[in-house]
Every structure is written in structure tokens, then in C-alpha cells.
Amino acid sequence: MRLLLIRHGQTPDNVIGALGTTAPGARLTDLGLRQAEALPAALAAETIGALFVSTLVRTQLTAAPLAAARGLEPVVLDGLREVVAGDLEMRNDPAAGAAYMGTVARWVVGDRDARMPGAESGHEFLARYDAAIERATADGHDTVAVVSHGAAVRGWVGCRVAGAGGTFVRDHDLSNTGVVVVEGSTTDGFRLVSWEGTPLGGADLDDPTADDPTGEAPADVVDAAARP
């Protein structure tokens, strides 16, 4: 089966680089709403049988235009939520961004015992995200769309998808409404088909001025990912 992992549209937290991971979370900016409105046309070639979102409102708002266009009812899965920031929640300083994405990078290179300060370990993150993906793919649809979060998508894909491990996700941006396409199953594993890091509606919907640590890994993450 084909799984489309779509990052939500832009939020005010993304603009200022704040690590907002608790529910219900920030809503979309005007740009984020335009990014969401672009999804139906951008995904016109995909035969989407089901649509899943996280408990954070930004994913639900992003999915709404696609759901309306396809006549789908988005299913909310708690396991699809963003990597919990814990003690770093709502910080937007460079040290916090580096610590946050650096921890995710350590999970990807195999250090699943690493724990986000005051929050989940790699094992805990993968357990709840794996369960959500298993639920999302359980009904036998050929193609399923999941609207989730930058660090969560990068972390899960880096850990679970063939062709995207090691430093791959560290070296590939994932802007708001960027999409990662994988194929396979939870039993046989997934392989990477494509990684489109720019917004699905086109690069003109991107915001290069946003200070967004979950969209573009800071330089410090290179060192964090290299640590054993």
C-alpha cells in the first residue's frame, strides 16, 4: 500500500521557531490556510481511501480542504502527534531547537534510549507512532494520507523506512505541507518512494523567513546525529 505522510500547514509557532507540541496547539497562519487549500489540487492524482490526522488542531485544519474535496471523514489518532518537547515546550532559542532535533536525530541513527528532556524516549515515540500507522493502514486501502508533524514524520521515516535511515532525514528539509511517500506494510516494512520537502502547492507557498527547527535541521544536529 501507499502511504502519504504530509506535514501540516504553517502555524505562528513555526514562524518564530517555538516548539509547541501540546494539544490543542496553534492554529494555521494565513499562509498555512493557503497551503492547506492547495492540497486537493496537488494530490489530484492520488486515489486516497482514508485520511488520518493527529490530536493537534493544525493537522485537522490542514486536512479539512482535502477531506471536503474527497468526501472523507478525517480520523483522529493520538499517536500521530508531534514529538513531545517536554522541558523544551514553547522555547524558541537555538539551543532548544538543537536539543530537540538533535534528540530525534539520535533516534534515527540508533540511540532509541535517548530521551527528550522531560519527555519521551525513542522507544516510546516509535511505539505510539507505529501503533497509529498500523491503525491507519489496517483497512486495506491502496492509498492512505496522514497529516502529521515535522519532527514526528522525520523521526518515524528515518527509523522505519528503508532508504531513509542514517543521515538522510537530517539532510532533507520538510517544509509545511511537504510530503513523504512510502510504500509497503507494517508487516513487511516500508520503502521510501519520494521525499518532497517543499509545500505541495509549490515553492511559492513556502516561507524561507520562518525560523522553523522541525522543518530544517540546525547545524548542531549534524553533531548530535553523529554521536554514538
Instruction: Reply yes or no on whether 172 is catalytic.
Output: no
Instruction: Reply yes or no on whether 8 is catalytic.
Output: yes
List the domain boundaries for the chain.
2-226
Q: Parallel, antiparallel, or unpaired: how do β-strands 179-185 and 189-196 relate? A: antiparallel
Query: How confident is the model at residue 169, as a pLDDT?
Result: 84
- Residue 160's alpha-carbon distances to 34, 115, 127, 152, 199, in angstroms, are 31, 18, 11, 12, 23
Active-site choice (8, 149, 172, 216): 8
Chain centroid to CA 144? 15
**Mean pLDDT (whole number) for 141-160:** 97
**Mean pLDDT (whole number) for 19-39:** 98
Q: Where are the alpha helices (DSSP H) in the chain?
A: 12-16, 30-37, 39-42, 57-70, 94-108, 122-136, 150-160, 220-226
pLDDT by residue (tens digit) across 82-132? 999 999 999 999 999 999 999 999 999 999 999 999 999 999 999 999 999
- Write down the mean pLDDT value for the chain: 94
CATH class for domain 2-226?
A: alpha beta
Given a cut of 80, is residue 226 above it in pLDDT? no
Q: Parallel, antiparallel, or unpaired: how do β-strands 143-148 and 2-7 relate? A: parallel
227 confidence band (pLDDT: 50, 70, 90): very low
Contact 200, 179 (CB under 8 A): yes
pLDDT by residue (tens digit) across 198-222? 999 998 999 999 999 999 765 544 4
pLDDT by residue (tens digit) across 153-182? 999 999 999 999 878 888 899 999 999 999
Active-site choice (82, 120, 149, 172): 82
**Mean pLDDT (whole number) for 57-62:** 98
Q: How many CA atoms lie within 13 A of 98 on its CB side?
A: 10
